[in-house]
Amino acid sequence: MNICIFGAGAIGGMIASLFKRAGMDITIVARGAHFEAINKKGLIFQSKEYDLDICQSFKVFPDINNLEKFDIVISGLKAHSSNQTAKSISEILHKKSMLVTTVNGIPWWFFYKFSGKLNNYQIKTVDPQSLQWEYIRPERVIGSVVYPAALVEKPGLIKHLEGKRIILGEPDNSKSERIQELSKIFFAAGIKSPASKNIREDIWLKLIGNSSLNPISVILNSTLKEMCEQEDTISIIANMMKEIEEIGNKLDLKLKLDIEKRIDGARKVGDHKTSTLQDYLMKKPIELDALTGSIIEIAEILGCEVPVTDTIYKITKYLAIRNKCFPG
> Along the 328 residues of the chain, how does pLDDT read in single tens digits?
899 999 999 999 999 999 999 999 999 999 999 999 999 999 999 999 999 999 999 999 999 998 999 999 999 988 888 888 999 999 999 999 999 999 989 999 999 999 888 999 999 999 999 999 999 999 999 999 999 989 899 999 999 988 999 999 999 999 999 999 999 999 999 999 999 999 999 999 999 999 999 999 999 999 999 999 999 999 999 999 999 999 999 999 988 889 999 999 999 988 889 989 999 999 999 999 999 999 999 999 999 999 999 999 999 999 999 999 999 7
Report the alpha-carbon distance of residue 253 to residue 285 in Å, rounded.
30
If one counts every other C-beta atom within 10 angstroms of the C-beta of residue 304, the result is 16
Report the alpha-carbon distance of residue 169 to residue 120 in Å, rounded.
17
CA 299 from chain centre, in angstroms, equals 21
pTM: 0.94
Pick from 172, 211, 216: which is nearest to 195 by CA?
172
CA dihedral 202, 247, 211, 172 (to 10 degrees): 30
DSSP, residue by residue, 298-309: HHHHHT---HHH
* Domains of the chain (ranges, CATH numbers): 2-197 (3.40.50.720), 201-322 (1.10.1040.10)
- For the question of residue 164 being annotated catalytic, the response is no
Catalytic residue, chosen from 206, 242, 250, 284, is 206
- Evaluate whether 124 touches 296 at the Cβ level (below 8 Å): no
